[in-house]
Amino acid sequence: MINKRSTTLSLCLALLIVSAACSNSTNPASTGKQEANGTTKAIPKVKLKYWTPDRGFSEQIREEVDRFNKTNTDNIEVELTIMAENYPQSVDIAFSSNQAPDIIRVNNVTFMPFLKKGYLDPLDTYIPAEMKKKFETVLSEEINTKDGKIYSLPNYGYTHRLVYNKDLFEKAGIKNPPQTLDELVATAKKLTEAGNGASFGFSANLKSSLNAIERSPRAIAELSGYPGYGYDFKTGKYDFSGYQAIIEAFRQMKKDGSFFPGSESLDIDPLRAQFAEGKIGMYISISAEPNVYKQQFPAKIKWGAALPPTIDGNIRGAIGLTQAGAWLSLSSKSEHKAEAWKFLQYLYGDEVLNSYYEKGLGTSLVPFVLSNAKKPQLEGVEGFLPTKYDTLQPASPTITVDGMNYGDAFLRYILDGGDLAKTIADLNQRYNQSLDKARQSGDVKLAADPSFDPAKLQGKLVK
């Protein structure tokens, strides 16, 4: 009889995968071993699975995998799978069904959850001393290390910018991108009116609430000096009150009809496709966009990027890079960890790391790349280049909260309205209760830092 649970899990994985690229290239020199009697003994090929959600530059990743498959002399073949936005859930399903990959893409959000679930193996026994020295200044607790062990190394991160349609701005008679929330709301309304039903002023990928909040309101909050993930490092407590004016502004744009219709069901790629066609005036997103509009959705419009607005026009903090600090990790379930490390070592080589920065695929966090690589050349990338207002934020606590998370709570208000002050008070209470429990159990050791100042995060990457 067929195991229904296994079948269901396999179907779930199949549905979650957006695309997969497999290279079957074989290196003839490494497929056999010469025996003493002159015969050749076949050596089984080691096949590795590499999972990543980085769809924005899938061409680059496929080229890296194909090059490794063709050039490695260890008879290793890597199978690449590029996942959908619900990548963390895909990884959970894979580990629970014994279908885990060998190499896992991690970032500043998924690193600690994956580590706590036992998905990652430390790299310390594999990293040569010389290689470790090159990365030692960018190793951070609970971002790529834990309790003195290294689980990942950095490559790049994404800056956040307001992306805007220059053609629609010109049509509406708007000269500059908005710098305050009031200007954001007014600009979105004016763009919508000028679009006359063919285009709309603003959008966000609201289908995924946490991703949408991290991509848009978080950037505004951090640039305004408020904690983007709700955790105030100065007080050691959660406080989502900095989001009040921001979420109210998003609700106002929804009430005004300035949001692109159906935004609540949009993932980021469908949103990008609509923007490329000229149907959306503004949205806030990451520095993957220049490559997206070159390869994935060739833009039919003139577009640009600028710093997101702040609450009142004053900059009191810095925007944390997304998917920064960590990059690739070894799976704890891999049966070929030594071979998987050889692939990681190849990807962490100078040539590959330099290529990400030089092609404008992300802002490098590695000092030797920033000092040696050429400046990126890609249309639109100039608006995303790091400034003193881009930074690597410290890691917020990883906790499990009972009830609705802040992404779902804020999305509900944006779409349906309600009592936002009450919603924020409820979030603060529940998040701090969970934080207290995590501290009591020893899962969270992070304490209040009275000297913490979000303005001091400015200039950490670029002066």
- Count Cα atoms within 13 angstroms, Cβ side, for 61: 25
In the chain, what is the straight-line distance between the N-terminal and C-terminal CA atoms, in Å?
Answer: 64
Please say whether the beta carbons of 117 and 91 come within 8 A.
Answer: no
Spell out the domains of the chain, with CATH numbers in brackets. 4-156+323-381 (3.40.190.10), 160-320+395-457 (3.40.190.10)
Q: What is the pTM of this model?
A: 0.79
Query: What are the pLDDT digits (tens) for 427-436?
Result: 999 999 999 9
Is 167 in a helix, a strand, or coil? Answer: helix
CA nearest neighbour of 286 among 160, 155, 387, 391: 160
CA nearest neighbour of 209 among 394, 308, 85: 85
Distance CA 291, CA 361 (A): 7
Query: What are the pLDDT digits (tens) for 292-334?
Result: 898 889 999 999 999 999 999 999 999 999 878 899 999 999 9
Structure confidence at residue 1 as a pLDDT band (50, 70, 90): very low
Is 433 in a helix, a strand, or coil? Answer: helix
Cα distances (angstroms) measured from residue 219 to each of 28, 119, 243, 323, 459: 50, 29, 11, 14, 16
Beta-carbon contacts of residue 54 (< 8 Å; ≥ 6 apart): 61, 82, 105
Average pLDDT over residues 270-298: 94
Please say whether the beta carbons of 431 and 402 come within 8 A.
Answer: no
Model confidence at 20: pLDDT above 60: no
Q: Which amino acid is at 258?
A: S
Distance CA 247, CA 221 (A): 10
Tokens of 31: 């497929």
Tokens of 258: 């300035």
